[in-house]
Structure 1
Amino acid sequence: MSSFPEDFEVETWRLIQLWIAEGFIIMTHGSHKSLEEVGIYYLEELISRNLLQARKRRFNGEIKTCGIHDLLHEFCLIEAEMIKFMHVERTHLPLPEHKHDVHRFSFQTISYSYEDWYELLPLVTRSIYLFSRLDSPFSSLIKPLGKLSIHYRDPNYLHTYLRRFNLLRVLAIFNEGVRSPSFPLVITKFFHLRYLQIRFDGDIPESISELQNLQTLICSGNSSETLPQNIWMMKNLRCIRLREVSYISSPISESILNLEDFSGLCSASCTKEVFSSISNLKRLIIREPFLIQHYFPDLELLDMSSLRKLEELKYSNCRNYCFMDISIKSFVLPTSLKRLTLSMCNYFLWEDISSTFMMLPNLEELKLKRYQTSSDEWILSDNDKFKRLKLLLLSGSSLKRWEASSDNFPNLKRLVLQYCYDLQEIPTDFGEIATLESIELHDCSVTAEDSARKIVQEQEEMGNNPLKLYIHKS
């Protein structure tokens, strides 16, 4: 935890991927648990001992983000220096006479210069966590102009900073100001690299496949719209998180990736050939591309039935205009799905919601955001049951009339309605849902707010468990 600044809130998935990259989690012989599952167990053990703090949790108790108390963070810093585990730069102190005899470095100052970097880091550096801004590596790039000085940024400055560290296992650049105009090719020479988090513009090169030990790839910035074909050769990749929509072509021959997490996949890549080659996925984010070059009018189905381990799916149509409106019925979803988020899907029927998603026996969270429907009524029959649903979020809906009973959502814990300007009322029978803990309304109609207050008041008068009501206005 000393590698993160004080009060830093770290996502669980990121922390566990770093543990795996650092070699703190090792697969034991005969174990049926994945490295991520072992990491979650370790995290829960640390939290149960009050060493770490769970900052955010999901409804099923899963830890979403975590942190550490300030006093324990100071202890970590002292201990890390004492046992030569890591050196943390938080203030600009005089440089040591000799390079630090450690393999891990975290830079948390406002900025850092190339000269200090060169003097401080030994060639055997294995891990770099960068929260600082990197200053221009060459003083010759500062040219005086009268009373002014113009600072020129060397476009290859990341190459200059990194070229000496061939033994790197972890390169995590958190500072968004540290950005390269292209992928620094020097990184492809780091054969031992397991975790890469970087911000750059342009394409991911084919030579990325030289990183045969890479497990986690996190790219932000205006990065590639097409992933290189050679990515299918990277057998150790477990996590790909891309900010931009990226297309991946069909695999080479019968290549299989052990990916468990893929964020930023272009919908045009959602073919049976691709899905059958990444069948270990547990988390997937699909986005519609902006460019028409990746639009396939014959793509009628998003068949994910081969993803039998998939637990979380997010689909977003991020185009301002739609060449193809994918119906809810176009999704063939695996029964393993627990969390589903659909954003900006257009012209589906509320009946499709009932008939499609009720067939998912493990679905716990359903979020529908910024969408247009062909009808403004959602009427659920007695046979319509979302048996395990705990969270229902409707945002930007044109829904007017909603008829449902407590039997339709027997395990609902949280109901969230956002920007439902036309909704007349929340079904009054929702107060009878024994598990319901809260109702949240964000900029909804006055009548919907009144119906929520009436539900809460009736439950209070009956002496039932208190139901929390949150009403927010912009």
Structure 2
Amino acid sequence: MKKALPNQKADEQYPDDLYNLGKQFVKKCGGLPLALVVLSGLLSKKHATYVVWSRVMETMNWGVDGKQCIAIIGSSYDDLPFSLKSCFMYFATFPEDNEIGGDNLCRMWIAEGFIPQEENKTLEDTAENFLEELVQRSMVQVSKRNWDGSIVCCRIHDILHSLAIEKAKEDNFLTACSKIVEMQNWSQQTRRLAIHREIVMAKVTELLMSSATPNLRSLWFFEIDLMPKISQFVYLKVLHSNSWRQIDYEPEKFGRLNQLRYFRATFCVHSEDVCSFQKFISGMRFLQTLNLNGSKIPCDLPDCVWHVKTLRHVILPPYLAGPPPSIHLINIQTLEGVRSRESWETTGVPKLPNLKCFHIQLCNIQEDTNITLLGTLEHLISLEIDERYVPFPIIDIREFPFYHRLQTLNLLLNDQKKVALEVGMLPIHLTWLKLYIFSQGDPMPVLEKLQNLRCLWLAGSGFQQMCCSSGGFVQLEELSLELKQVEEWEIEEGALPMLKQLFIFYCHLRRVPCGLQHLTLLQRLVWISWGPTISKTMENEIRSLCKHVPSIDIKPVESD
């Protein structure tokens, strides 16, 4: 009932007529938990009236002989709007029990054309709403949410995964192969093809080379380290490889796939193939998502790539040159792994009016150039700035229009710059902060006032003592420390009341942090040190103070 009536107040009784119907629904589900949650997810999208619920009771295919669950899930699929049916069948692409990235999934849906343009919303906003609706209907499970509530990873139950595969086959939507015997399902009409890790690549290459699938529009490889020749599939819109091992870029395998909307792969480009690789990338005239994270690429992207107006998300290995000066990319929302260009000083900075996520390494160019660039970013919610290689002082982000919007911030500062943190220097709405600083004093009195902060990673040096005071870090759940010069740490009672995970890396604390026992909600403690800096006495004291912590991992790492 809580799932079926999500807007019901906790102190209100459920309406008697709906409650009695709910009992009948439970009985019809045969005690199967998955059937219960899927059915309640379906009811949550209906008007909560006796007439509507009765109609569901009467028209539902309840199944027989223990098949209630499959019948209920099938009915829930039939109840989906047409646009959501394609999004649900897309889960057949992924191997069973696979963790699926929310952002990547939404970007593929957009590339496929499943997501309609709605007034005053980006395509990404609508795609996220579609995913949330599948979650609300209990057809998709959330594995991890971001600190802002967005879905980082999701998965799908085995029975629902089987349903997605079944419906995808019925509609000739896609073919997923995890065994050699399933390759016989390939046909001239196959438009989407997923190859899973168990497949023998030699056989895959043979079948692909035979051009058995001339209509192919989408192709996925999961945990496969060798890329077969795919250059003949000139109409591909989606090409996705999730292997984190670098695949050798070989020109004859790729050709010119100039219809790609979504491209993700991890390449190793050899020097003799640089020209071919640049030509390959520059041919993608309709590209929306380019993800080369983890690749080894000894060259920058050709400038013509940045002239593609459809670009929405570009994620590169650090650090390739950013967009050329004065380029206007109105649709781009994600730009990661780029460095600033010296040409920005004389010709002008790129115009990125709708950028939301920006990761940049600042090089040795004038400070006012970088200020000009950041001053144009009004919609930024995630920012990473690597300032380790510039001589000018720290950029004060209070000057920029995105200051009050920013939710995640990663600042890597030059260790020769001594920083004195001030209240107000960091946005109050931050939920995630990674900070590498050479501080003039204990930064905790300033950081603990960030009342929305959920995750903090703090590294650097310049101070030897720190204190987390009572009432500080009221919502912090995860804290990582890498402070090589800190010797004393005090945690007052009432500090860090919500902390669940604590990671201490290579800190030279002389004694166990005073007040460690006050972290009553702590679920995990990891303490890693160089060499034997933690004595057996210290370790025993840590374990004694943290008897309430389910997971404690204390270990030294020997230096080279």
- The two structures have a TM-score, normalised by structure 2, of 0.64
Choose the corresponding residue for 1:335, options 421, 428, 449.
Answer: 428
Q: SS of the counterpart of 2:475?
A: coil
Larger Rg: 2
C-alpha distance in 1 between matches for 2:484 and 2:427: 26
Superposed CA deviations along residues 368-392 of structure 1, whole A, max 9, x for unmatched, are: 14x3x2232113566x733332322
Indicate the structure with greater helix content: 2
1:176 and 1:61, CA in 2 relative to 1: closer, same or farther beyond 3 A? same
Matched, 1:239 2:334: yes
Choose the corresponding residue for 1:12, options 102, 107, 127.
Answer: 102
Q: SS of the counterpart of 2:421?
A: helix
Q: Give the 5 Å matches for 1:212-227.
A: 212-220=309-317, 225-227=320-322
Matched, 1:314 2:410: yes
1:23 and 1:451, CA in 2 relative to 1: closer, same or farther beyond 3 A? farther
Give, in angstroms, the shift of residue 110 of structure 1: 5.0
Give, in angstroms, the shift of residue 258 of structure 1: 1.5
Choose the corresponding residue for 1:443, options 510, 521, 528.
Answer: 528
Conserved 8 A contact 2:326-2:349: no
Fraction of identical pairs, as percent: 22
Q: Give the 5 Å matches for 1:71-86.
A: 71-86=159-174
Name the counterpart of 2:285: 191
Is there any run of 5+ residues in structure 2 with no aligned partner, and where? Answer: 1-90, 232-247
1:156 and 1:59, CA in 2 relative to 1: closer, same or farther beyond 3 A? closer
Name the counterpart of 2:354: 258
Conserved 8 A contact 2:176-2:195: yes
Choose the corresponding residue for 1:273, options 367, 372, 383.
Answer: 372
RMSD of Structure 2 on Structure 1 (CA)? 3.9
Q: Which moved more, 1:325-334 or 1:20-29?
A: 325-334
1:60 and 1:425, CA in 2 relative to 1: closer, same or farther beyond 3 A? farther
Superposed CA deviations along residues 324-345 of structure 1, whole A, max 9, x for unmatched, are: 43636399433331100124x4
Q: Which moved more, 1:110-119 or 1:78-87?
A: 110-119
Aligned length: 424
Conserved 8 A contact 1:129-1:171: no
Q: SS of the counterpart of 2:525?
A: strand
Amino acid at match of 1:3: T
Name the counterpart of 2:62: none
1:56 and 1:8, CA in 2 relative to 1: closer, same or farther beyond 3 A? same
Choose the corresponding residue for 1:418, options 466, 491, 505.
Answer: 505
Name the counterpart of 1:282: 381
Matched, 1:25 2:115: yes
C-alpha distance in 1 between matches for 2:542 and 2:249: 59
Give, in angstroms, the shift of residue 274 of structure 1: 1.5
C-alpha distance in 2 between matches for 1:454 and 1:96: 61
Choose the corresponding residue for 2:140, options 39, 45, 52.
Answer: 52
Indicate the structure with greater strand content: 1
Is there any run of 5+ residues in structure 1 with no aligned partner, and where? Answer: 139-152, 290-294, 458-465
Higher relative contact order (CA 8 A, sep 6+): 1
Give, in angstroms, the shift of residue 259 of structure 1: 1.8
C-alpha distance in 2 between matches for 1:350 and 1:454: 31
Choose the corresponding residue for 1:202, options 259, 281, 299.
Answer: 299
1:285 and 1:172, CA in 2 relative to 1: closer, same or farther beyond 3 A? same
1:437 and 1:36, CA in 2 relative to 1: closer, same or farther beyond 3 A? farther
Give, in angstroms, the shift of residue 424 of structure 1: 0.8
Conserved 8 A contact 1:16-1:39: yes
Name the counterpart of 2:442: 351
Give, in angstroms, the shift of residue 423 of structure 1: 4.2
C-alpha distance in 2 between matches for 1:191 and 1:120: 26
Q: SS of the counterpart of 1:334?
A: coil
